[in-house]
Structure 1
């Protein structure tokens, strides 16, 4: 196996110059960089990343902890993060926390053990106190979809209450007054905020929140299916259904068809997230756009600016949701 010494000899440069080329140091001329790269290719030299990280105290890797690796929501976020880092010669190591405090902590400790330069955390169950304590350690991190006042400058969040308000207002503007609601698990802050936005819109239209038309789901498609099944058995009729995410909305739409309910003529439905499949449901699902790809990209930009001192776009911590009106909501007849 070729060594860095052989690369240095073949390229006719010093060991320090070879090291600068491997670490993408700007203080190397294009001609010298080409010579070193050509020598590495000719010798089949592969840099030892562990040795590099020990020597430079930089592994060029970032740890990413997400709640789940499956489903349509996290893919765009991970893609935005990975693309941003790959363009800067950095790599991403991914772990999953499964919305469980112990697993989230284990995931964070694993990523730290991999000598990551920084962390991006999408965590839901772990305590604020743990994250505040972690912020006092040497490894920097940024949070997605989590707001902690003491860590405000490193929290990239969505205005979920506004999103919940926009979804409900869209239904109300179409004349619906008997409205069912399927929430996410209410121990999660985003589910709480979306429900608060729903209640805000009802109050604005001088309507009361009806517990009989409420079901607490878990953000999974099956809970939308089961939630609608239970709501439909309620003695109180409803003409519109608001779901706190798109997966639950599609589950609800599936059983509505099984019950021979015509959509949207007999039931208007709106979701939240604007994941890719909402453009392909029938009818196409009205929803709230959650710019999770952009938020992931911004988290990466935060790391690039604060850890790697790379020039990036202006940093933004609060993102605004927008209404995406399609065919699943119509005016009540």
Structure 2
């Protein structure tokens, strides 16, 4: 096995300089860096990350659990994290929990067994108690898109109640009273909290909540489509639809058009998240902006603060939603 000492002898530099090149520090002159890299190439040197981690007690890897890899939401979130972590010369191991309690726990334990320095968790099925217990262990852990009061300092989330409220209030301000609501999965915190916000806006306006105008979906486009068909089949009257996310809103629009309704001339539709495609629909989708990339970046900053002692990072634990008015809503 080629050693750092052999590389240093061939390059004509000290072993400490070789270590600085391996760790990609900024204190090595470019000419010296090239000498070391050429020597490593000639000798076939491979840096032993495992040995280095045993010596430093750090692997410079962060375990990342998300429900799935489908769609732009989780891609944007992970991209925000990766951008911050890569600048700090850290790496991500990504696993999927598929909103299943046993799978989420299995993936968390697998990442811990691989000696990840810290965890970023977007988990939906494991209990608050499990996460509270995990937070008390030695591995730094931040939870995204979920707020648990007992470990609030470990959480980075959006104010989903406020976002749900803002979406429905926008429809009410446009004169709508018969507002259908397509919720996300109600075993998920964001699905519950966005529905709470919807109900708050109705109550504030003196509009009675009608459970017959609410259909539970699963945050997928097909469930938005199915929800609108269910409302039509039940002969429910509505002039607007508030959707728990943009994917469901796109499915809802397809179903409305299939039943001969124009958006927004006949029915207004509002989404939630502001994922990439929402502004490319025709007309462009009115939605609630979820700064998902910013939340991913904030989670990475939390990790750098708590796992690596980089306390220069400013943290915001609860991010604010924003109403984006586009073409799918109009005054009644």
CA offset at residue 89 of structure 1?
Answer: 1.3
Give the corresponding residue for 1:128: 128
- Structure 2: state its 5+ residue gaps: none
- The secondary structure found in structure 1 opposite 2:168 is helix
User: Map of 1:85-100 to 2, 5 A cutoff?
Assistant: 85-100=85-100
- The secondary structure found in structure 2 opposite 1:109 is helix
- Structure 1: state its 5+ residue gaps: none
Contact 2:160 2:193 in 1 (8 A): yes
* Residue 64 of structure 2 is aligned to residue 79 of structure 1: no
Whole-angstrom CA distance in 2 between matches of 1:254 and 1:312:
47
Give the corresponding residue for 1:154: 154
RMSD across aligned C-alpha pairs, in angstroms? Answer: 1.8
Contact 2:180 2:238 in 1 (8 A): yes
Contact 2:278 2:284 in 1 (8 A): yes
Whole-angstrom CA distance in 2 between matches of 1:179 and 1:136:
44
Give the corresponding residue for 2:236: 236
Whole-angstrom CA distance in 1 between matches of 2:171 and 2:82:
37
Contact 1:301 1:312 in 2 (8 A): no
Give the corresponding residue for 1:259: 259
Whole-angstrom CA distance in 1 between matches of 2:280 and 2:21:
48
CA offset at residue 315 of structure 1?
Answer: 1.0
Contact 2:20 2:28 in 1 (8 A): no
Contact 1:272 1:287 in 2 (8 A): yes
CA offset at residue 35 of structure 1?
Answer: 4.6
Give the corresponding residue for 1:290: 290
Give the corresponding residue for 2:29: 30
Whole-angstrom CA distance in 2 between matches of 1:114 and 1:263:
51
Give the corresponding residue for 1:112: 112
CA offset at residue 209 of structure 1?
Answer: 0.5
Deviations 1:275-320 (CA, angstroms, capped at 9, x unpaired): 0111111221100000010000010011112212235431111100
Contact 1:249 1:269 in 2 (8 A): yes
CA offset at residue 321 of structure 1?
Answer: 0.3
Contact 1:168 1:242 in 2 (8 A): yes
- The secondary structure found in structure 2 opposite 1:99 is coil
Deviations 1:28-77 (CA, angstroms, capped at 9, x unpaired): 55376565344324434221222221222111111100011111211100
Give the corresponding residue for 1:299: 299
Contact 1:304 1:312 in 2 (8 A): no
Contact 1:161 1:196 in 2 (8 A): yes
Report the TM-score when normalising by structure 1. Answer: 0.94
Whole-angstrom CA distance in 2 between matches of 1:133 and 1:25:
37
Whole-angstrom CA distance in 1 between matches of 2:280 and 2:95:
30
CA offset at residue 13 of structure 1?
Answer: 3.8
Report the TM-score when normalising by structure 2. Answer: 0.94
